[in-house]
Structure 1
């Protein structure tokens, strides 16, 4: 993909600036190598799903291009797609579409964590026992209340990362709640989430040696608006004080950190529009 002009809006406050310094100054991501991509045919963001006649139709929005050589096993579950990295014991990313009409459904939370034998290196829930870390969902259970199978699937350990409880129950949960509000407002949003590792992230837990990330990222896009928009967030794997906008950045800026290419199937002009700039104010607007 042709290189895009980077946004001039880098680090909108001291917290975000320090976070970027940490991620970039620590030597960048190590072990990011390997390319694999896919899409989920059940949730591809088509106009039938959104219920919006004449809405933009962009196929394969769960596709992510990742650096060559990165260990990746792709599997499509009900409602989301995982790129799993057996070297880390965590996903490279998890991608899904959240429809506004799904948010109000009432399938009960499953809480049955399970190991997928089809995923090479998929850890056990016991690998997290007494580790001091939560089994942090990348695709959250509350996004899967539309289907009993989707609820069951989202408790697969391939969807988990070691997450500090203070983050999992704090700022990360707050962002997840906001995403559901935004999906209802915008008809649907695409979400991609995963861990961020740098060379200093050497701690591992459990017999499987699940690698503990230093931070987490999330990418959001509202593709069916007249003017599609996107935003990214990065949270350190710890208590995250301040406001949500302190951790926001453009998708381009996150791509620079990760080496990933999000939404490569979008037309170039739409991709540039969605990824080069962001406005937290627009995203957080209730209308």
Structure 2
């Protein structure tokens, strides 16, 4: 009907000798438009499809869930040194479906059983020690993705440790983690294809890659002399920084979901925030103002168009540039937020330190004297000397287990 009135109205206005005639026709057309029900109302009369992508909030993290893939889209955390000083332990926690996710869209433990993939935390248990509730919630399957076991226990674990270590040097650490399914280029023909495995009866999607976006802040540049010294080496940014403005630094990383050895530094997997946004379809830290002329700069030497080989190392001598931010919102005074890897190094712990860390977890969780002694024996077999922390932990746990042991050698319940 509206099309008829558009035609009539046009003809009437074109042929009218007086403006009054034209106005009358237009008013008639507008009245008809107001009376007719809008298409948008009818389309949504019984509701529009719900994606389930709304934000779910938990004690220590927030996430958006992907119902189709049965994994999180992203998981966001805020870490401080105080939050990580909690005493909650993971030994009594069990992986389980999230009661906030409808059952028909949730993964279950049987999906992972025998799949060859481990249950990988996006908000790790080590970040959730502040309360028993936060530790327990981190084991919801809505916070879990199918992850290569060696990657989960090795490189990704070391990256999580690095994030916690950042709280010793920065007052606030924000982290967003999640899975990606990225295209691969065929050897013949050069076509790009997105292909990923699914596991279990619920078809839980196995990501090809994982990502982390990290933002750190100190309320004053003078709060951390080590960071300031790093800024001064090979950079003129420190000279223009303002001690009254918060210091901010960003790092973005995409890590393939496969084993990665100790010879690969974290910087091999660093990309610009803009590239991570392009690959993930997410906008990170959207409340962080950015200058229009220099929203982000891609680290030199990267090849973001070939993310099938996201492990490609940068060219020798390549350096990561900084992200453009408004100086009045906490940049460095010249309108720039620093590259995390330039100011902090992005150094993951080495093999010896990581072995001691894993040994500490095993010793602290040992449930019998026999297992406790075996853990220490395995460490000596690797020709690694326990440090003071591990030695004291061993002695304390040994006394606890001795106090719990009955005369027949069995441990009391």
Q: Settle same-fold status: TM greater than 0.5.
A: yes
Shift of 1:207: 1.2
Residues 101 and 184 in structure 1, CA contact (< 8 A), matched pair in contact too:
no
Residue matched to 2:127: 143
Residues 188 and 224 in structure 1, CA contact (< 8 A), matched pair in contact too:
yes
Aligned residue for 1:255, secondary structure, equals helix
Say what the alpha-carbon RMSD is for the aligned residues: 2.3
Mapped to 1, the partners of 2:52 and 2:344 lie a distance apart of 33
Q: Larger relative CO (CA 8 A, sep 6+): 1 or 2?
A: 1
Which ranges in structure 2 are unaligned for 5 or more consecutive residues?
1-49, 183-192, 220-245, 296-322, 326-330, 348-413
Q: By percentage of residues, which structure has more strand?
A: 1
Mapped to 2, the partners of 1:144 and 1:180 lie a distance apart of 11
Range that drifts further, 92-101 or 218-227: 218-227
Residue matched to 1:192: 176
Structure 1-normalised TM-score? 0.70
Shift of 1:125: 1.4
Residues 107 and 170 of structure 1, relative CA distance in 2, 3 Å threshold:
same
Aligned residue for 2:175, secondary structure, equals strand
Residues 172 and 280 of structure 1, relative CA distance in 2, 3 Å threshold:
same
Residues 167 and 237 in structure 1, CA contact (< 8 A), matched pair in contact too:
yes
1:155 to 2:139 alignment: yes
Residues 249 and 337 in structure 2, CA contact (< 8 A), matched pair in contact too:
no
Aligned residue for 2:162, secondary structure, equals helix
Which structure would you say has the larger Rg?
2
Q: Residue deviations 1:104-129, cap 9 Å, x none? A: 32211143111123213121111101
Number of residue pairs aligned between Structure 1 and Structure 2? 218
1:144-223 equivalences in 2 (<5 Å): 144-198=128-182, 199-223=193-217
Q: By percentage of residues, which structure has more helix?
A: 2
Residues 111 and 249 of structure 1, relative CA distance in 2, 3 Å threshold:
same
Mapped to 2, the partners of 1:201 and 1:283 lie a distance apart of 36
Aligned residue for 1:223, secondary structure, equals strand
Shift of 1:189: 0.2
1:251-270 equivalences in 2 (<5 Å): 251-269=273-291
Mapped to 2, the partners of 1:90 and 1:283 lie a distance apart of 31
Q: Residue deviations 1:234-284, cap 9 Å, x none? A: 110001231111111221221122221111112335973389862413123
1:97-116 equivalences in 2 (<5 Å): 97-109=78-90, 110-116=92-98
Which ranges in structure 1 are unaligned for 5 or more consecutive residues?
1-68
1:124 to 2:113 alignment: no
Aligned residue for 1:268, secondary structure, equals coil
